[in-house]
């Protein structure tokens, strides 16, 4: 109800605003006069990390600009130690606190606002309420009429990182380095080591990670497959396992851990996000569903294998990094689109990925590159 009301009020306000004062075209932007820029990326964990190459590109092109980010109240922690970001604002959610946030943002005198990824109408409304003369956003937004420039997709399989880079390319920023960034403070690295010592008796040199759950069950590889893979990793590499999950799917993760032959640690929402990242950074390998921890592993430089079903690895999988690989069989087993509508409970595209295929990929891709270098 609150969202529908906000949508109606936002559209009405922006329509009146545009009639009174049409948005200035981006061609009128004088980049030499810009001092501070707001970047909006207030959605999921993966979306936050997908935005980091664009943030880096912008700072490298305009080192004197102060880049501030409006991020999700939890996932904004991923940017808290990013050297390219001067300040992280916390998105409070769809309630009356938006008005207080808008007043604070307006006082910052932004020369430019870029909506890299955000929920409408809040993202566009907040961008407009900053008073910035220039807004860049998605051309697909129903509120794109309020933007100085809109960015449309260039193809159905354009990667999420490229889509975000397209926004900053409009102001002359770009990068050849498409890796995602995640910077850990020393205290989190120390804390992670202490947790591992307390749980395993030492910091395991051969630690590996599984992420068997995630935000949406239609993205889950079968639990039985994770159990079989986890036991194979222990038999083959004597690998203790870090099992990454949130509080809501802790029970499912612990049920998997209970059937593993080797030692394991389930995060289960017990630790802050950056602590989980620091634990993951200790791992030699991550095998994960298509969810936030997969992208976190890739941003940390952990060799990561993504098990991708409903979506396409060309859009959301490992991108231009040698430490990322993906398995995807959707096109082979399903010509329909129920997964994309989150209505397929059979997970046919994920069930089609066999444990033996993951084992083969580990043996042929991971072992020659990383295991041999550690010996």
Digit-coded pLDDT (tens) for 349-370: 888 999 999 999 999 999 998 8
CATH number for the domain including 67? Answer: 3.40.50.2000
149-151 and 208-211 beta bridge pairing? unpaired
Let me know whether 350 and 257 are in one domain.
yes
87-96, 102-111, 144-153, 189-198: which has the minimum mean pLDDT?
Answer: 87-96
Distance of CA 127 to the CA centre of its chain: 21
Residue 210: which of 138, 332, 139, 305 has the closest Cα? 305
Tell me: do 31 and 58 sit in the same domain: yes
pLDDT of residue 333: 67
- Alpha-carbon dihedral sign for residues 11, 16, 18, 19: positive
Whether 206 is in a domain gets the answer yes
Q: Of residues 91 and 263, which shows the higher confidence score?
A: 263
> Where a domain ends, among 112, 139, 169?
169
Last residue within a domain, chosen from 109, 144, 169: 169
* Residue 40 shares a structural domain with residue 71: yes
Around Cβ 367, how many Cβ atoms within 10 Å? 14
Residue 176 located in a structural domain: no
Cβ(111)–Cβ(130) under 8 Å?
Answer: no
- Two tokens, residue 168: 């900053």
In a domain, 24, yes or no: yes
113: left (phi over 0), alpha (psi -120 to 50) or beta: beta
pLDDT range class, residue 98, cuts 50, 70, 90: confident
Q: Is the same domain home to 285 and 364?
A: yes
213: in domain: yes
CA 222/CA 3 separation, integer angstroms: 35
Whether residues 111 and 214 share a domain: the answer is no
pLDDT score for 81: 98
Phi and psi angles of residue 195, each rounded to the nearest 5 degrees, phi first: -65, -45
- Both 126 and 153 in a single domain? yes
- Domain membership of residue 131 (yes or no) is yes
Q: Are residues 158 and 240 in the same domain?
A: no
Query: What is the pLDDT, as a whole number, of residue 348?
Result: 81
Are residue 120 and residue 227 in the same domain, yes or no?
no
Q: Which of 25-34, 268-277, 334-343 has the lowest mean pLDDT?
A: 334-343
Structural domain for 304, as ranges: 186-374
Looking at residue 340, what DSSP letter applies? G
Give the integer Cα–Cα distance in Å for 225 and 340.
22
Any domain includes 2: no
For residue 7, the model assigns a pLDDT of: 72
How high is the pLDDT of residue 151?
95
The verdict on 24 and 63 lying in the same domain is yes
Span 40-73, pLDDT tens digits: 999 999 999 999 999 999 999 999 999 999 999 9
Number of structural domains (the chain) is 2
> 181 in a domain, yes or no?
no
**pLDDT attached to residue 371:** 76
Helices (DSSP H) in the chain: which residue ranges?
2-20, 45-50, 52-61, 97-106, 122-129, 160-169, 186-200, 223-237, 250-257, 273-281, 292-299, 313-316, 330-333, 348-351, 355-361, 372-374
**Is 94 a residue whose pLDDT tops 90?**
no
* Whole-number pLDDT of residue 205: 93
Confidence at residue 122, expressed as pLDDT on a 0 to 100 scale: 86
Instruction: Let me know whether 244 and 137 are in one domain.
Output: no
Query: Is the residue at 150 inside a domain?
Result: yes
Does the pLDDT value for residue 230 go beyond 90? Answer: yes
Q: Is the domain of 226 the same as that of 322? A: yes
Confidence of residue 310 (pLDDT cuts 50, 70, 90): confident
Give residue 64's Cα distance to chain centre: 27
Q: Given this model, what pLDDT does residue 284 score?
A: 97
pLDDT at 345: 66
What is the reported pLDDT for 342? 62
Q: Which of residues 169, 195, 229 is at a domain's end?
A: 169
Considering the domain architecture, whether residues 165 and 19 belong to the same structural domain is answered as yes
């Amino acid at each position: 109800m609150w969202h529908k009301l906000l949508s109606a009020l936002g559209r009405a306000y922006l329509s009146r605003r545009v009639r009174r004062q049409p948005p200035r075209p981006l061609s009128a932007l004088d980049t030499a006069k810009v001092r501070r820029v707001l970047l909006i990326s207030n959605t999921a964990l993966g979306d936050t990390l997908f935005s980091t190459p664009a943030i880096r590109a912008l700072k490298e092109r305009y080192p004197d600009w102060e880049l501030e980010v409006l991020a999700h109240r939890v996932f904004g922690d991923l940017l808290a130690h990013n050297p390219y970001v001067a300040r992280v604002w916390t998105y409070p959610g769809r309630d009356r606190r938006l008005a207080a946030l808008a007043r604070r943002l307006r006082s910052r005198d932004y020369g430019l606002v870029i909506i890299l990824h955000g929920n409408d109408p809040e993202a566009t409304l907040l961008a407009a309420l900053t008073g910035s003369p220039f807004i860049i956003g998605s051309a697909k937004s129903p509120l794109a009429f309020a933007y100085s420039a809109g960015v449309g997709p260039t193809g159905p399989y354009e990667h999420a990182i490229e889509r975000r880079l397209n926004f900053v390319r409009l102001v002359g920023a770009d990068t050849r380095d498409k890796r995602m960034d995640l910077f850990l403070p020393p205290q989190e690295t120390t804390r992670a080591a202490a947790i591992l010592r307390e749980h395993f008796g030492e910091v395991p040199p051969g630690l590996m990670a599984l992420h068997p759950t995630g935000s949406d069950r239609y993205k889950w590889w079968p639990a039985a497959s994770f159990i079989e893979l986890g036991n194979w990793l222990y038999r083959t590499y004597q690998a203790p396992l870090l099992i990454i999950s949130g509080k809501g799917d802790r029970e499912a993760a612990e049920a998997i851990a209970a059937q593993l032959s080797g030692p394991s640690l389930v995060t289960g929402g017990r630790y802050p996000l950056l602590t989980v990242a620091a634990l993951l950074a200790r791992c030699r390998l991550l095998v994960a569903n298509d969810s936030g921890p997969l992208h976190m592993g890739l941003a940390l430089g952990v060799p990561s294998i993504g098990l991708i079903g409903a979506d396409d690895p060309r859009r959301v999988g490992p991108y231009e990094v040698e430490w990322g690989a993906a398995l995807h069989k959707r096109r082979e087993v399903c010509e329909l689109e129920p997964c994309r509508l989150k209505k397929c409970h059979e997970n046919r595209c994920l069930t089609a990925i066999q444990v033996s295929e993951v084992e083969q990929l580990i043996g042929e891709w991971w072992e020659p590159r990383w295991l041999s270098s550690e010996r």
